[in-house]
Structure formats: structure tokens, C-alpha cells
Structure 1
Amino acid sequence: MRTGNEPANARSALRLRLWLSVWGLLWAAFGTTVFSLLDRPGWAAACGVLFLVAMVDLAVVAHHLHRGAHWQPGRGIPPYEPDHGGGRR
């Protein structure tokens, strides 16, 4: 159900993003190693760049998880009414 205020109440799947970063990190490390052994420097460099991107993403996600939960409305709180553009007086 759309309430009209999704950006204000959006939730992020940080744990999913954490595991996807770990998965990408493992594959990028594997690719870098294999392509280095096969003497393919271009592909090894591309996998190395992906490795660095996955590392940065992992660090950002870990930082956000470390900060802890911020207040979010729970299941018992009904959704807010959407703003229909009516001015307040």
C-alpha cells in the first residue's frame, strides 16, 4: 500500500546488502587471482576494481549497521496520510 511518504519512511535491507557485498568481494578476489594466474592483466585489473568497490560498500554497510537502528514506525503504527497539497493555516 502506498501512503505517499515512502522516502521519509523507507527502510534499507542492510543485512542483505552486507551479504551481497561479501559475495561480490569473494568473487572479485577469485576473479583477480584467476585472471592474474592466466596472464590476463586487463581482466585482473577489472576484477581488482570490483574488489575495491565491494570493499568500500562493505565498509559503508558495516558503518551503518554499527550506528544502530534509528526510530522507525513499527507495524502497530498506521501509515501516515499522504499530503494532497493542501496548505496549512
Structure 2
Amino acid sequence: MRGPLVVMAHWRTTEAALGDVLAHVAELRAASLAEPGCLGYDVFRAIDAPDTLLLLERYRDAAALESHRQSPHYAALVVGRIVPLLAERRVEVLQAREPG
């Protein structure tokens, strides 16, 4: 894939784990924004489902996304701490395309 990529990570946790997940996500966001290939990292919380988060991440290209996924902070925070606290996880990778 060429060009910028957008990652939409849909995470649902439990009410009991929400505080821990939010704390880990804050740490993850800061570390991710320090990566040279990360163009943006926003975290949204659903108004009607407060245990549901949407992470909207932007990366320069596929290599930058792969570098993010191989980073020590991804392994420690996402794989090691966050995923075990999630009830549901869905990740989409998107790239802009010209219509037609």
C-alpha cells in the first residue's frame, strides 16, 4: 500500500476495566505520536456506550504502520495490557482512493 493509512480500532471494554484501559491508551497515544511515521492519533469515547472507544490513527505509509505494530510500546501496552481487558476488538486499515 502506498500513501497515508488510517487505522480505526474499535474497542469495547467493561465498566470495571475502563479506567485502566483509558490510562494505558493515554500512554500509548503519547508514545505513538512520538513515532516518526505517525501523523495523528485521536481517541474517541462513544456517548451512548461509554465502555466503547474508537482510536483513529494516521500513518505515513504501510512501513510506518508496521513499525508501530513492532514497537516495544505497542507490545507492552496493546498486547500486554489492553487486549486482555477488552471484551471486543475490531481493527480496520483504510487508504484513500480516487473515486471511479
Q: What's the TM-score, normalizing by structure 1? A: 0.36
Q: Which has more strand, going by share of residues?
A: 2
Q: Which has more helix, going by share of residues?
A: 1
Q: Which has the higher contact order (CA 8 A, sep 6+)?
A: 2
